[in-house]
Amino acid sequence: MSALTVFKALMLRNFVYLKRTGVEVFSIIFWPVIIMSSLAFFATFIQSKEGLVILVTGSIAWSYMFTSHVDTSYTFVRDIWHRSLKKLRMLPIPEWQLIIGNWLFGLFRSAAMIAITSTIAFFVFGFNLFSINLLYLFAVFFGLSLFGMGIGIIISSAILRYGVNAEVLIWSVADALILLSGVFFPVSVLPPVLQFVSYGLPPTYGLEGLRGAFIHGAYDWVMIAKFYIADLIYIGIFWIVLKAQMRHSLRTGFFQKYE
Amino acid sequence: MEPIVVNGLEKVFAGGVRALSNVSFTVGKGEIFGLLGPNGAGKTTLVNILSTLLLPEKGEARVMGLDPAKDSLELRKIIGLSGGYARFLPKLTGREHMKFYADCYGVKPDFKLAKEFQMENKLDTLIEDYSSGMLQRLGLIIALQHRPEVVLLDEPTIGLDPQIAVVVRKYIKKLKSKCSAVLITTHNMYEAEEICDRVAFIDKGRIIAIDTPKKLLRKTKSKTLEKAFIKLAREGLE
Ligand SMILES: Nc1ncnc2c1ncn2[C@@H]1O[C@H](COP(=O)(O)OP(=O)(O)O)[C@@H](O)[C@H]1O
Ligand SMILES: [Mg+2]
């Protein structure tokens, strides 16, 4: 059977689930509305246009990346909750197809997220996300979703190790990135030690690159290249961790425990 | 080639629980093989090792010539596993689940099979409205619809209404002609007597006897497999 059939099946499964779970549909709209309206009020205090651009681009990018990583790992948690993980693992499909299939669905959800946040930003701040080079914009956002996949992979490993308790990581990893990747401020304002950490994280390059384009009209493709290289290094390492964790879980009887 | 070969399997869980000790047996072509033992005997552990869900500490297993530890992906294509406590995503219907699992095997959902298990009218019901018996039957349908070579059933009739259990047992007997081998675990000795060609008694992770139900009864001069099991388990202690 082809990987495409599997991707389609996984996406359809997630879609039907989402459609029937009112709360989840609500959450797609709820978050962007909350963050964008907070920014609208916040904007009345901010003097510089630059500051506003940083906050708005940061919020859009962060909501987007968050959706990618949540979707990659959350489906996993859901199958543990409903005790159907054992059945998922019995399927004759390799782990990467499971990861990519769920991530692809996340891409659709993140696209919805971008549509909502950017529309609000346009009407409230007159901020047009699509006013920069579209290829550049696409490169940044695709890079962010790749990193989202990486985070989804490492969280999946944590879930394989600690069970549903690791679910809290899904939300907290994203919070840590707000601080360390300079989502709402340029990395240069961080103390040197944190700056060093920050440049060890792929999304930092994407976010800096995005701000540069909006504020200075600068398209730093070298920055984007670094972004993708960093993404791939992270995905590679996290993938190796996942494979190792999978073997460990097969020894400890994780799948036996979670039915 | 024997469909299932198990040789010297050992499984020790964290905390030192020895779930399997030196377990060996072979299931021949066309056989329905029963694994009988009380709760905690190690039945699920053994089935999970054969199903690629668990790695043993020692020993080896072959299912249709494949090693569950090394040829996991290949093996999963040709086996079907169903446990007695099947669960699915609550917000999807039975039909949607059948379709999802069939797609992942690259086959068409088998609605005839659903009919055999008297589930054809329940397929458009959401899983959250299923009874445990319906869940269990859906589990069986999903484990069987890709026509596996080897079928592994872990307590397939536990908790089923008697009249549904009859339907399921009848179907398991029919499986004989549809696949290479069936391994079924149960602690229902009556069920084993009725449908298994051969059974292995398992107690505290050890196999204490393997034979046809008839011969086990004769050897232990017992009327039921239950009594035969108790006798053999006691002998094992002495
Ligand atoms: N994941 C696990 N971690 C630790 N111990 C386990 C695990 N799974 C099963 N066990 C233990 O292994 C033994 C055999 O369990 P199991 O194979 O489920 O027995 P059965 O299916 O015959 O009832 C039991 O003592 C059980 O508590
Ligand atoms: Mg069991």
For residues A41-45, average pLDDT: 82
Counting ligands in written order, which one lies closest to the CA of residue B46?
1
Model confidence at B237, pLDDT cuts 50, 70, 90, reads low
Q: How close B188 comes to chain A (CA, Å)?
A: 21
User: Which residues fall within 8 angstroms of residue B141, CB to CB, at 6 or more apart?
Assistant: B98, B110, B113, B114, B117, B119
Residues of chain B in contact with residue A256, where contact means CB-CB under 8 angstroms, are 44-45, 48, 53-54
What local confidence, expressed as pLDDT, does residue B85 receive?
A: 80
Counting ligands in written order, which one lies closest to the CA of residue B85?
2
Ligand 1 binding pocket includes B13 (Cβ within 6 Å): yes
What local confidence, expressed as pLDDT, does residue B103 receive?
A: 96
Instruction: Kindly tell me if the per-residue pLDDT of B24 is higher than 80.
Output: yes
Residues of chain B in contact with residue A259, where contact means CB-CB under 8 angstroms, are 83, 85, 87
Instruction: Kindly tell me if the per-residue pLDDT of A214 is higher than 90.
Output: yes
DSSP state of A204: H
CB distance A106 to A145 below 8 Å: yes
For residues B114-137, average pLDDT: 95
Q: Which residue of B has its CA nearest to A2?
A: B106
CB distance B225 to B199 below 8 Å: yes
Domain holding A22, by residue range, is: 3-258
- Whole-angstrom distance, CA of residue B160 vs CA of residue A149: 42
For residues B108-132, average pLDDT: 96
**Number of domains observed in the structure of chain A:** 1
Residues of chain B in contact with residue A82, where contact means CB-CB under 8 angstroms, are 87-90
Identity of the residue numbered B221: K
Q: Ligand 1 mean position to B48 CA, how many Å?
A: 11
Residues of chain B in contact with residue A78, where contact means CB-CB under 8 angstroms, are 89
For residues B153-158, average pLDDT: 93
Counting ligands in written order, which one lies closest to the CA of residue B38?
1
Q: How close A22 comes to chain B (CA, Å)?
A: 11
For residues A30-49, average pLDDT: 84
Model confidence at A27, pLDDT cuts 50, 70, 90, reads confident
Q: Is A79 on the interface with B (CB under 8 A)?
A: yes
What is the tens place of the pLDDT at every residue in A158-196?
Answer: 999 988 888 888 778 888 888 899 898 999 999 999 999
Query: Which of A73-77, A92-96, B40-44, B117-121 has the weakest average pLDDT?
Result: A73-77
Ligand 1 binding pocket includes B84 (Cβ within 6 Å): no
Q: Give the strand pairing for B79-83 and B58-63.
A: unpaired
Q: Give the strand pairing for B198-203 and B31-36.
A: parallel
Kindly state the percentage of chain B with pLDDT values over 70. Answer: 99
Q: Tell me the pTM.
A: 0.92
What is the tens place of the pLDDT at every residue in B176-235?
Answer: 999 999 999 998 888 899 999 999 999 999 999 999 999 999 999 999 888 999 999 888
What local confidence, expressed as pLDDT, does residue A63 receive?
A: 87
Instruction: Kindly tell me if the per-residue pLDDT of A19 is higher than 80.
Output: yes
What local confidence, expressed as pLDDT, does residue B238 receive?
A: 62
Q: Is B185 on the interface with A (CB under 8 A)?
A: no
Instruction: Kindly tell me if the per-residue pLDDT of B2 is higher than 90.
Output: yes
C-alpha dist (Å) from residue A182 to A118, A141, A227, B174: 20, 16, 14, 64
Ligand 1 binding pocket includes B44 (Cβ within 6 Å): yes
Q: Is B70 on the interface with A (CB under 8 A)?
A: no
Asked if the Cβ–Cβ distance from A87 to B101 is below 8 Å, we say yes
- Whole-angstrom distance, CA of residue A35 vs CA of residue A174: 15
Cβ burial, residue B14 (10 Å; 0-12/13-18/19+): exposed
Where would I find the H helices in B66-147? 72-78, 94-105, 111-116, 132-144
Average pLDDT over chain A, rounded to an integer: 90
Q: Which residue of B has its CA nearest to A250?
A: B54
Instruction: Kindly tell me if the per-residue pLDDT of B134 is higher than 70.
Output: yes
Among protein residues, the one whose CA lies closest to atom 24 of ligand 1: B40
Sorted by where each starts, the structural domains of chain B and their CATH numbers stand as 4-237 (3.40.50.300)
If one compares A17 and A25, the residue with the highest pLDDT of the two is A17
Model confidence at A259, pLDDT cuts 50, 70, 90, reads low
Ligand 1 binding pocket includes A251 (Cβ within 6 Å): no
In sequence order, the β-bridge partners of residue B79 are B150
ipTM of the modeled complex: 0.91
Among protein residues, the one whose CA lies closest to atom 14 of ligand 1: B42
Q: Ligand 1 mean position to B133 CA, how many Å?
A: 24
Q: Is A4 on the interface with B (CB under 8 A)?
A: no
Residues of chain B in contact with residue A89, where contact means CB-CB under 8 angstroms, are 53
Q: Which of residues 5-24 of A touch B (CB under 8 A)?
A: 5-6, 8-9, 12-13, 16-17, 20-21
Mutating to test ligand 1, I would choose from B13, B81, B155, B186 the residue with most ligand atoms within 8 A of its C-beta, which is B13
CB-nearest to A255 from B54, B99, B103 is B54
